[in-house]
Amino acid sequence: MNKQQSSITSLIAAFSRAYHSQMDTPKIFDDYVAKELISPEEFQSIQDHLIQGIDFFNKDMAIPTKDNVKNLVKWITQIQLAPTPLARAAYNENVLHHEIRLGIEQYVILGAGLDTFPYRHPQLETVVEIFEVDHPTTQAFKKKRLQEASLPPMKHLHFVSMDFTKQFQSQPLFEQGFQYKKTFFSLLGVSYYLTKEELASLLTHLFALVPSGSSIVLDYADETLFQENGLFNRVDNMVKMAAAGGEPMKSCFAYEDMEKMLDPLGLLIYEHLTPPAIQQLYFQNRTDYLSAFETIHYMHIVKK
């Protein structure tokens, strides 16, 4: 992850979750803690930047005025920014809670950003050890925000500073108390920025650390990523924004590609959600702009 972009990327994702929690009904994923990690000035600044970029998101939208600014922010956030962060977080945590009931003892969040899971579920403090793995810049940023928000340290929350997209190292995890136990991993918003070889290598290293029955939830882009425009050109916008931010998207997969990559690693696809399935599960019957993002799939993968 680019050092200059890491904290900005996590801030934008947190903005999407905070905006949804405060502004949208019904909730797909209610991250009511996210707003505590964003200052009012930053929240307003992000909205201002969205408005300034309205021509990029939709050149046919109305010129911003005092009367329509709120609607334009809502449109951009619900169309472009929020759908994937909200739905994948909802799916991931649904699987996580199920895995906790089945006895997992460790949860590793790869690319944690400004994740708030431990603070939304303090009742799990004696149930599961949580390891947040992210770029040192992002983790320093998050620790500062937790302190400013008066969110206290938690005994079961461990920070592991590592740019795992460049080279995964197990030692920092073990130094924070990680053990060879049944574990659940999440890898959200990351696979796009890895080559297929890098993703396979990362999964190989992760699952060498844990026993059978351990699993991971990840999202990935299908083989239409670089051809699909999407609703209001949002897929193409996503690809362009990633490149402009210095983190170009590198990979996309057909389902068969995922099977071929995972099988030699001893990994089984337990569940696969396509965009239509995600739409039905999380966005059905909404009356706002939120809808499942084209080309983006979710998978729950288990070690045999």
pLDDT tens digit sequence for 115-154: 999 999 999 999 999 999 999 999 999 999 999 999 999 9
Residue 61 belongs to domain spanning: 3-81
Quickly tell me which residue has 């649904």 as its tokens: 94
Residue 159 phi/psi, 5° resolution? -95, 130
Instruction: Report residue 247's pLDDT band, with 50, 70 and 90 as the boundaries.
Output: confident
What pairing do the DSSP bridges indicate for beta strands 106-110 and 129-134?
Answer: parallel
Kindly state whether residues 257 and 171 are assigned to the same domain. yes
Give the pair of three-digit tokens for residue 146.
């937790």
User: What is the Cα Rg of the chain in Å?
Assistant: 19
Kindly state whether residues 36 and 115 are assigned to the same domain. no
Of 81, 110, 138, the residue at which a domain comes to its end is: 81
> How does the average pLDDT of the chain come out, rounded?
95
DSSP-derived 3-state class of residue 187: strand
Give the tens place of pLDDT for each residue, 25-52.
999 999 999 999 999 999 999 999 999 9
Whether the predicted pLDDT of 59 surpasses 90: no
Window from 49-58, 59-68, 80-89, 278-287 with minimum mean pLDDT: 59-68
pLDDT of residue 6: 55
Give the tens place of pLDDT for each residue, 200-235.
999 999 999 999 999 999 999 999 999 999 999 999
Number of domains observed in the structure of the chain = 2
Kindly state whether residues 130 and 100 are assigned to the same domain. yes
Kindly state whether residues 161 and 34 are assigned to the same domain. no
Whether the predicted pLDDT of 1 surpasses 50: no
Helices and strands per DSSP (H, E), number in the chain: 12, 7
Kindly state whether residues 68 and 202 are assigned to the same domain. no
pLDDT of residue 65: 75
Of 81, 110, 130, the residue at which a domain comes to its end is: 81
Kindly state whether residues 104 and 14 are assigned to the same domain. no
pLDDT of residue 2: 47
Quote the CA–CA distance of 1 and 99 in Å, as a whole number. Answer: 29
Kindly state whether residues 110 and 232 are assigned to the same domain. yes
Kindly state whether residues 207 and 91 are assigned to the same domain. yes
